A and B are shown apart, each in its own frame.
Chain A
Amino acid sequence: MNRSDLQTLGERELAKQQSTGCRLLCCGSTPCLSSGGTAVQEVFKGILKENKDLKAELAVVSTGCMGPCSRGPLVRVQRQGEPDVIYEKVTPELAQEIFKKHVSGEDTNQAEANILPGDIPFFSKQKKVVLANSGLIDPERLEDYVAQGGYMALANALREMTPEEVCSEIIDSGLRGRGGAGYPSGLKWNLVRRAKTDKKYVVANGDEGDPGAYMDRTLMESDPHRVLEGMAIAGYAVGAEQGFIYVRGEYPIAAKRLEKAIRMAERRGLLGSRVMDTAFNFRIDIRIGAGAFVCGEETALMASIMGRRGQPIPRPPYPAQSGLWGYPTLINNVETFGSIAPIINNGAEWFAGIGTAKSRGTKIFALAGQVENTGLIEVPMGISLREIVFDIGGGVPNGHTFKAAQTGGPSGGCIPADYLDTPVDYDSLRELGSIMGSGGLVVMDDTTSMPDVAKYFMEFCMDESCGKCVPCRVGTVQLYRILERVTAGIATRNDLTIMEELCTMMQETSLCGLGQSAPNPLLSTLRYFRHEYEALIKDDLPLTSDRFALATSSVLPRQEVS
């Protein structure tokens, strides 16, 4: 299939969609399905089965995530010439009503109360670039993606641009890695492109281990072809013929959809050998993770792809010089690859025009915790935290007050209410002692105890530490034990000093990002909520048997390997 075939296919599919009188888009992502979305879809499909004559004017589509997950199951009604209507919390009964109103044209207003207005801040403050198709297309159909202009960026890059031009386009766009650290993607691409070897690899990091983050999962589930297209463009730009997507083992649906997408793209000649009738070959394989947080670290991830224990190795050499099987390897986050096609389609200048001077473009956040509207959002960089939590998120429910926002998972920190007006970008968050991370944003209200949160994350890091380097393996255990004493109310002031010293030691001496950033949640809560720690501390505590036992227990009882 070449460029003109692709265009024809897209136009034909678009015409078909436009000739359908009414399209019922049902959200088919995990949150909506598990809150009853399956039954709703079955109602619509049942109606379609019974009334075969409706087939020309009614289509029922299972789409990817629409965003406001806490309001699921969601149904979007698309009628030609009318604005879209979105229904929230749809039940099977309501589904019947929706059908009567929009398809049979009956005059019923029973579903009115469940209409989600399209102009609420949740939608209007967002800017969808990477998630542009999410919730509008059927992720399991290649034609749907092509109808939205999919694979056009790959076609144009292959026909009209040299690999060097693709790389400089990415550099000019100012795109930074969406996995957390924010390294300029274009520079990384250029490094791999310049390497002179016979083999190179492209790897998409979909091992989204941060608790509270599910952007990558949603992107892979809702728009798998976009990731594949981004990887293929990357393969062309750096000169690789083989790509891997590393998907977390906890995301079976994402893996299944990606697999199907790869198969369909290969069948159409959009991947595989001689992509779009050019001399460029690119194969993509899926690797399923097996549940290890440390595999989000690039060297550990590569070890895991090669079938070994996911333990990191010292850098340099960086993967761009020596990665998979010793060959130069380009590793980017799934979301980074998701941004590639829009940049090629609309140009670097357009992308650079979004966001702030040093952080360009948009970022997807998974908004969760104690907030009214939980769900997936995509916002321009530089938006204030207040807008995210109070406008898009709708504020803290049940009359509680906002206390802190946790970003970056176990590697990030807590941002207190005083800093709600800071712009959300890589550098501002780093100054506050947190990180952008992959995009988890958990809101905490006044009922949350900060030392408890720090203990939670330390336990996570202790459990997930791979055990290779001492600062991380032992440091996390020691910090966890002190935090246990703190939350039990039997810590002394000296313990706080020891904790801070240990944190600095870990940051400076750990081998990989896990150990270096594991103290972040603790340090940031100590920085902003020190009074909570001090309230739990007693200086003149007698050495009770309890405290003695805790202080001297050599090894903590740990969870058995399950």
Chain B
Amino acid sequence: MVKNKSRRAAEIEHPSGDPRFNLVDRTLKRFQYQQDALIEVLHTAQEVFGFLEDDLLIYVARQLKLPLSWVYGVATFYHFFSLKPQGEHTCTVCMGTACYVKQAAEIVAMLQAEFGVAPGQTTADDKLSVATARCLGSCGLAPVIVIDSDVLGRQTADSTLAEIKARLSGQIRARQLEAASANDEVEEMEAETL
């Protein structure tokens, strides 16, 4: 039995040998290759690879023994999954009701005028992706934008532009990342004390 399992794993390992596939495999194993776990697997795949390229979808489909059309159907149904590579920086403008009545559309128009990208597009030099979100649930701070997973509230077209330019020129590193790693340390300490 054990032998069979290891042979199976050897057979289906991705031929490219890309170590990132190991992370996808880990999620597949955690859910015991259940077909119902497709969305969870796609979440991991997107987290690891940044977007869902065709090759990746084929790999997931074969691992879960699902038709490729099924996997593709799910991946395109949900807004969260992206089939195209994202830029180095992403700027998501919230277009929820509260942000909308507080002129979030002006920010989108500015991005289009300044960088020539509409929501859902990436600049030609792959530096900046622009997206809109339905509601980020921070309506008290409307209008809200998210740049590289930092939530910034009470934005105007000008402040957004300044922030993006600073990021593009590398002056500001993503704050969230630093905070997150600090948090993890604290958590580990807490876990030890428990």
- Please report A residues at the B interface, Cβ cutoff 8 Å: 30-31, 33-35, 38, 69-70, 72, 208-214, 217-218, 249-251, 287-293, 304-311, 366, 368-370, 374-376, 406, 409, 440, 442, 444, 448, 453, 456, 460, 464, 466, 559-562
Taking a contact as CB atoms under 8 Å apart, the answer to whether A442 and B97 are in contact is yes
> Which of A250, A288, A305, A311 contacts B137 (CB under 8 A)?
A250
Which residues of chain A have C-beta atoms less than 8 A from B152's C-beta? 34
Type the 1/0 row for B146-168, where 1 means its CB is closer than 8 Å to any CB of A: 00001111100000000000000
* Residue in A closest to B99 when the chains form the complex, CB atoms: A211
Taking a contact as CB atoms under 8 Å apart, the answer to whether A34 and B141 are in contact is yes
Which residues of chain B have C-beta atoms less than 8 A from A376's C-beta? 140
Taking a contact as CB atoms under 8 Å apart, the answer to whether A290 and B135 are in contact is no
Taking a contact as CB atoms under 8 Å apart, the answer to whether A290 and B141 are in contact is no
Question: With A30-B138, A368-B139, A562-B120 in contact, do A290 and B151 touch (Cβ < 8 Å)?
Answer: no
A193 to chain B, nearest CB (A): 25
Taking a contact as CB atoms under 8 Å apart, the answer to whether B36 and A306 are in contact is yes
> Which of B38, B81, B141 contacts A69 (CB under 8 A)?
B141
A396 to chain B, nearest CB (A): 12
* Residue in A closest to B119 when the chains form the complex, CB atoms: A559
* Residue in B closest to A562 when the chains form the complex, CB atoms: B120
A8 to chain B, nearest CB (A): 17
Taking a contact as CB atoms under 8 Å apart, the answer to whether B119 and A291 are in contact is no
Taking a contact as CB atoms under 8 Å apart, the answer to whether B97 and A290 are in contact is no
* Residue in B closest to A218 when the chains form the complex, CB atoms: B137
Taking a contact as CB atoms under 8 Å apart, the answer to whether A561 and B140 are in contact is no
Which residues of chain A have C-beta atoms less than 8 A from B138's C-beta? 30-31, 34, 69, 214
Rounded to whole angstroms, the CA-CA distance of A31 and B76 in the bound complex is 31
Is B19 positioned at the interface, with any CB of A under 8 Å from its CB? no
Rounded to whole angstroms, the CA-CA distance of A305 and B119 in the bound complex is 28
Q: List 13 A-B contacts (CB under 8 A).
A: A30-B151, A211-B97, A211-B99, A250-B137, A290-B42, A292-B78, A309-B73, A366-B139, A374-B98, A464-B134, A561-B79, A561-B82, A562-B79
B39 to chain A, nearest CB (A): 5
Which residues of chain B have C-beta atoms less than 8 A from A370's C-beta? 101-102
Rounded to whole angstroms, the CA-CA distance of A72 and B99 in the bound complex is 18
Rounded to whole angstroms, the CA-CA distance of A35 and B152 in the bound complex is 7
Rounded to whole angstroms, the CA-CA distance of A559 and B82 in the bound complex is 13
Taking a contact as CB atoms under 8 Å apart, the answer to whether A209 and B135 are in contact is yes
Taking a contact as CB atoms under 8 Å apart, the answer to whether A307 and B37 are in contact is yes
Rounded to whole angstroms, the CA-CA distance of A376 and B139 in the bound complex is 10
Taking a contact as CB atoms under 8 Å apart, the answer to whether A250 and B74 are in contact is no
Taking a contact as CB atoms under 8 Å apart, the answer to whether A293 and B134 are in contact is yes
By secondary structure, the B interface counts as mixed
Type the 1/0 row for B83-113, where 1 means its CB is closer than 8 Å to any CB of A: 1100000000001111111100000000000
Rounded to whole angstroms, the CA-CA distance of A306 and B36 in the bound complex is 5
Which residues of chain B have C-beta atoms less than 8 A from A72's C-beta? 140
Is B142 positioned at the interface, with any CB of A under 8 Å from its CB? yes
Rounded to whole angstroms, the CA-CA distance of A409 and B100 in the bound complex is 13
Is B121 positioned at the interface, with any CB of A under 8 Å from its CB? yes
Is B28 positioned at the interface, with any CB of A under 8 Å from its CB? no
Question: With A288-B40, A292-B79 in contact, do A560 and B141 touch (Cβ < 8 Å)?
Answer: no
Rounded to whole angstroms, the CA-CA distance of A30 and B99 in the bound complex is 16
Taking a contact as CB atoms under 8 Å apart, the answer to whether B39 and A368 are in contact is no
Which residues of chain A have C-beta atoms less than 8 A from B35's C-beta? 307
Taking a contact as CB atoms under 8 Å apart, the answer to whether A368 and B153 are in contact is no
Taking a contact as CB atoms under 8 Å apart, the answer to whether A561 and B100 are in contact is no
The 5 nearest A-B residue pairs measured at CB: A69-B140, A211-B96, A290-B78, A214-B137, A291-B79
B192 to chain A, nearest CB (A): 14
* Residue in B closest to A209 when the chains form the complex, CB atoms: B134
Type the 1/0 row for B27-54, where 1 means its CB is closer than 8 Å to any CB of A: 0000000111111101100000000000
Taking a contact as CB atoms under 8 Å apart, the answer to whether A38 and B139 are in contact is no
- Taking A34-B153, A211-B134, A217-B137 as known contacts, 15 extra A-B pairs with beta carbons closer than 8 A to each other, sorted by chain A number, are A31-B141, A212-B97, A212-B98, A214-B137, A287-B39, A289-B80, A292-B77, A293-B134, A369-B97, A369-B101, A369-B142, A375-B140, A444-B101, A559-B119, A561-B82
B47 to chain A, nearest CB (A): 11
Taking a contact as CB atoms under 8 Å apart, the answer to whether A213 and B135 are in contact is yes
Taking a contact as CB atoms under 8 Å apart, the answer to whether A290 and B140 are in contact is no
* Residue in A closest to B150 when the chains form the complex, CB atoms: A34
Taking a contact as CB atoms under 8 Å apart, the answer to whether B77 and A309 are in contact is yes
Taking a contact as CB atoms under 8 Å apart, the answer to whether B119 and A368 are in contact is no
Rounded to whole angstroms, the CA-CA distance of A561 and B80 in the bound complex is 9
> Which of A35, A293, A309, A440 contacts B97 (CB under 8 A)?
A440
Taking a contact as CB atoms under 8 Å apart, the answer to whether A291 and B78 are in contact is yes
Rounded to whole angstroms, the CA-CA distance of A165 and B102 in the bound complex is 49
Is B179 positioned at the interface, with any CB of A under 8 Å from its CB? yes
Is B133 positioned at the interface, with any CB of A under 8 Å from its CB? yes
Question: With A212-B135, A366-B139 in contact, do A308 and B74 touch (Cβ < 8 Å)?
Answer: yes
Question: With A370-B101, A559-B120 in contact, do A30 and B39 touch (Cβ < 8 Å)?
Answer: no
Is B131 positioned at the interface, with any CB of A under 8 Å from its CB? yes
Taking a contact as CB atoms under 8 Å apart, the answer to whether A31 and B153 are in contact is yes
Which residues of chain A have C-beta atoms less than 8 A from B36's C-beta? 305-307
Type the 1/0 row for B122-144, where 1 means its CB is closer than 8 Å to any CB of A: 00000000011111111111101
* Residue in B closest to A444 when the chains form the complex, CB atoms: B101
B88 to chain A, nearest CB (A): 16
Taking a contact as CB atoms under 8 Å apart, the answer to whether B97 and A251 are in contact is no
Taking a contact as CB atoms under 8 Å apart, the answer to whether B137 and A30 are in contact is yes
> Which of A211, A217, A304, A466 contacts B39 (CB under 8 A)?
A304
Taking a contact as CB atoms under 8 Å apart, the answer to whether B81 and A307 are in contact is no
A451 to chain B, nearest CB (A): 14
Question: With A375-B140, A559-B119 in contact, do A307 and B97 touch (Cβ < 8 Å)?
Answer: no
A290 to chain B, nearest CB (A): 3
Which residues of chain A have C-beta atoms less than 8 A from B43's C-beta? 249, 288, 290
Taking a contact as CB atoms under 8 Å apart, the answer to whether A561 and B83 are in contact is yes
CB within 8 Å of A: which B39-75 residues: 39-40, 42-43, 73-74
Question: With A69-B141, A307-B36, A562-B119 in contact, do A34 and B78 touch (Cβ < 8 Å)?
Answer: no
Taking a contact as CB atoms under 8 Å apart, the answer to whether B120 and A442 are in contact is no
Which residues of chain B have C-beta atoms less than 8 A from A251's C-beta? 137
Taking a contact as CB atoms under 8 Å apart, the answer to whether A368 and B120 are in contact is no
Which residue of B81, B99, B118, B141 has the most chain A CB atoms within 10 A of its CB atom?
B141
Taking a contact as CB atoms under 8 Å apart, the answer to whether A212 and B139 are in contact is yes
Taking a contact as CB atoms under 8 Å apart, the answer to whether A250 and B136 are in contact is yes
B109 to chain A, nearest CB (A): 15
Which residues of chain A have C-beta atoms less than 8 A from B135's C-beta? 209-214, 250
* Residue in A closest to B77 when the chains form the complex, CB atoms: A309
Which residue of B35, B36, B37, B73 has the most chain A CB atoms within 10 A of its CB atom?
B36
Taking a contact as CB atoms under 8 Å apart, the answer to whether A562 and B131 are in contact is yes
Rounded to whole angstroms, the CA-CA distance of A244 and B138 in the bound complex is 25
Rounded to whole angstroms, the CA-CA distance of A249 and B35 in the bound complex is 20
